[in-house]
Structure 1
């Protein structure tokens, strides 16, 4: 994920708010944007978010972020690993590891808990067997 000059805080580190943006960008690159969000671009690794039925929203329920080491601004993209954690009946976790692109040091360990929600009713929807099957190859059994 690119680090932008404006992502820096007064200490020369990538600001914590911008870290969340980087996580979002990595999640969208891996699993696709929601349907109807802009024009088509590069195909994601797994077309999960843009292949849900109309009227279904993919919403973040919770973020957990652990800053292991400051991520210094570099004029090169940060390395971000993304994988699927727990998959439950109506929700799933996506995990991230952000690494310094020069040193390879682990800087951020994070996870996002997501659910599909019916836009009209606001109710959480159960994952379909097809959605679970899409996520399975990207699941890592050990979590941070």
Structure 2
């Protein structure tokens, strides 16, 4: 967490929560290909391994604020897993926990799809992508 993430009440601002989700997603599944992030590979290189001309785009975010996430000068804990695999999209679920107390502060989901940058059409998940994501499958937070 950064000092600038805090709102006037000492909580992490709701807008900054989406940035935390993005950072967790990139840490777990890789930075987009072609961004110069060829160093350390993530546990599952889903985003960094797409073909040129393909982008991973956010389709939807769902965020439920369960408790306040107070600013702490230590890293926040974010659990991330795959909660849905569909032919042309997948959903990641997240729990953001207070790093000191372990209390769940945020439950969230992000649905993503791969898009062809030339045509704008959605691409189906490849067999390799499904195989890479399946071991990280778990329950949805919002069903």
> Would you say same fold, with TM above 0.5?
yes
Count, aligned residues:
141
Aligned-residue RMSD, C-alpha: 0.8
Distance (whole Å) between structure 2 residues aligned to residue 27 and residue 132 of structure 1: 16
In structure 1, runs of 5+ residues without a counterpart are: none
Alignment partner of 1:143 is 2:136: no
> Which of 50, 54, 57 is equivalent to 1:56?
54
2:74–2:99 contact (8 Å) kept in structure 1: yes
Q: Counterpart of 2:43?
A: 45
Q: Counterpart of 1:19?
A: 17
Q: Counterpart of 1:127?
A: 125
In structure 2, runs of 5+ residues without a counterpart are: none
Spell out structure 1 runs of 4+ moving beyond 4 A: none
Q: Counterpart of 1:34?
A: 32
Distance (whole Å) between structure 2 residues aligned to residue 49 and residue 56 of structure 1: 10
Deviation at 1:63? 0.3
Deviation at 1:38? 2.8
> Which of 109, 112, 121 is equivalent to 2:110?
112
> Which of 90, 108, 115 is equivalent to 1:92?
90
Distance (whole Å) between structure 2 residues aligned to residue 50 and residue 120 of structure 1: 19
